[in-house]
Amino acid sequence: MSSGSNDADTAPWADFLPELCVLVLDHLDVIGIIRFPAVCSDWATASKNTHCPRLLSGTPTLLTSSLDPEGYDIEYDVEPGAFGLHDVTTGKSCYGEAEGLKKRTWIGGKNDWLVTTDLRCSVELLNPITGVRVPLPSFATIPGVEVVEVRDRGPGVSFEKSPHHFQKVTPRFRMPAHRLQKVMLCRTPAHPSGYLAVALFSSGDSTGLVAFTAADDKRWTLLKNPEGLHYLGKYTDVTVHKGKVLAVATSGNICSWDMDVGTTTEPTILPPLDIDIDYWVKRVFYLATSSGGDLQLVCMFGDNEDIKDTRWWRIVFDFQWSFWPRSVLLHELDAVTDTWRRVGDLGGGRALFVGANYPFYVDVPRDGSTDPLLQADCVYVTDLINCDAGIFDLKLGDDFKFNLDARFCYPALSDPLQMPMWFRPTAALPKSTSARSIEDQQTLLL
């Protein structure tokens, strides 16, 4: 094999026969399998030419808690760093452990980078494929904020010397009491300008708080909330779009901050979305960006009758997500007219994935094949009350009503601690491999 490899002189292990490569693959865990094609071009070729089912680099997968080895049906801690990875396109599942996930939970991510935290509310970036970890600044760098350590993982109430009490479900900090809801990773450390992350904190009686940090920053920058706008509701999602930090609330209104003056200046409120949904209907919003660079707004709505939500057990959870989903609407903001328009399809060849992850699009093959799992013109949303993720078909318009057939469920545990989240495993290929072949050649065997 080495005679055909440009990197054989510096990689003697490239002399492995293809059948030995397959034997090695059969004994690797999921992290090892993902890393395998990145060792050298010959190993990438060997993994590509096997007859086993493969996951192309960048294929959407669902990240969940792992299996239940003890048979308790309840995940009592995250000490092992275990996880499950489920291929959306084939339904195949695999499980593994990552050193960087031990005693930590994921609260966001982009591509193959995760944002993780622990009960001390320390936040870091983790690439579970390469093992690289990048610490983020402490939230204590925000003026007036005191990080409160959680000594017990389970839910409950902790009383401090101050008159405020704090729920012990998630990491939180005093101001007077906010819970870390998510950290949106808008740029990964692989970006030429380094990482960029936006943290969203929720509170039981306020809109919430938004802060951001970037590579070379030594602190988090807290953005100033608008005053007197009680109709906004609670923030449900954050992102960075064209240099502005954006946060959308349950009212559908979007706050926009200039990153240079957002600490002292109130945000601009973007043009409101005219959406025909009754006020009493429960809803959450997600922010995304179209292929043309326009801002998109995903609205998932439903009702909260007869709710028995067991997700309060999660390390990271907010009860504004406690409702039965009925449908999803997608709108796009025209940058020229500054008006919203309803989007009824995604061009016939793409699917959109949203949740705690940075949203992304996936191309759906146009070869005429019918894949019940990966479908065009659909929005895939994670962490629903009755499943790990759901599929919402935009083509059906107002006639669409969510049904249990269009969902993903991996009942390894009835009460997991980790929230399900979209994840796209990739790994660096050998230097002799072109950038184009990252999408064309690199594979994960399942």
Q: Which of 372, 361, 325, 354 is nearest to 422 (CA)?
A: 354
Distance CA 44, CA 50 (A): 10
Distance CA 60, CA 381 (A): 12
- Determine whether 23 is exposed, middle or buried from the number of CB atoms within 10 Å of its CB (0-12, 13-18, 19+): exposed
pLDDT at res. 414: 67
Domain count, the chain: 1
Contact predicate 93/437, CB 8 Å: no
Q: What is the pLDDT of residues 352-388, one digit of tens each?
A: 999 999 999 998 877 655 566 888 999 999 988 878 8
Asked whether residue 142 is domain-assigned, the answer is yes
Distance CA 124, CA 109 (A): 11
Asked whether residue 189 is domain-assigned, the answer is yes
Average pLDDT over residues 2-21: 57
6: its two tokens:
């440009």
Contact predicate 415/58, CB 8 Å: no
CA–chain centroid gap for 159, Å, is 32
Asked whether residue 436 is domain-assigned, the answer is no
C-alpha triplet 240, 60, 396: angle, nearest 5° = 85
CA–chain centroid gap for 16, Å, is 37
Asked whether residue 299 is domain-assigned, the answer is yes
pLDDT at res. 5: 41
Asked whether residue 107 is domain-assigned, the answer is yes
Asked whether residue 434 is domain-assigned, the answer is no
The alpha carbon dihedral of 222, 175, 288, 132 has a sign of positive
Q: Has residue 126 got a pLDDT over 80?
A: yes
Measured from the Cβ of residue 205, the count of other Cβ atoms closer than 10 Å reads 7
CA–chain centroid gap for 440, Å, is 24
Q: How confident is the model at residue 169 (pLDDT cuts 50, 70, 90)?
A: very low
Q: Which of 14-23, 207-216, 340-349 has the lowest mean pLDDT?
A: 14-23
Distance CA 149, CA 134 (A): 21
Main-chain dihedrals φ then ψ at residue 429, nearest 5 degrees: -90, 165
Q: What is the pLDDT of residues 78-111, one digit of tens each?
A: 888 888 888 888 788 888 888 999 999 999 999 9
Contact predicate 254/297, CB 8 Å: yes
Q: Which of 106, 84, 108 is nearest to 31 (CA)?
A: 84
Contact predicate 126/109, CB 8 Å: no
* Predicted TM-score of the model (pTM): 0.83
Q: What is the pLDDT of residues 415-438, one digit of tens each?
A: 788 889 999 887 543 333 222 222
More confident residue, 332 or 274: 332
Asked whether residue 15 is domain-assigned, the answer is no
Q: How confident is the model at residue 340 (pLDDT cuts 50, 70, 90)?
A: very high
Average pLDDT of the residues of the chain: 77
Q: Has residue 214 got a pLDDT over 60?
A: yes
CATH number reported for the structural domain that contains residue 81 in this entry: 2.130.10
Asked whether residue 30 is domain-assigned, the answer is no
Residue-number span of the structural domain to which 253 is assigned: 55-423
Q: Has residue 244 got a pLDDT over 90?
A: yes
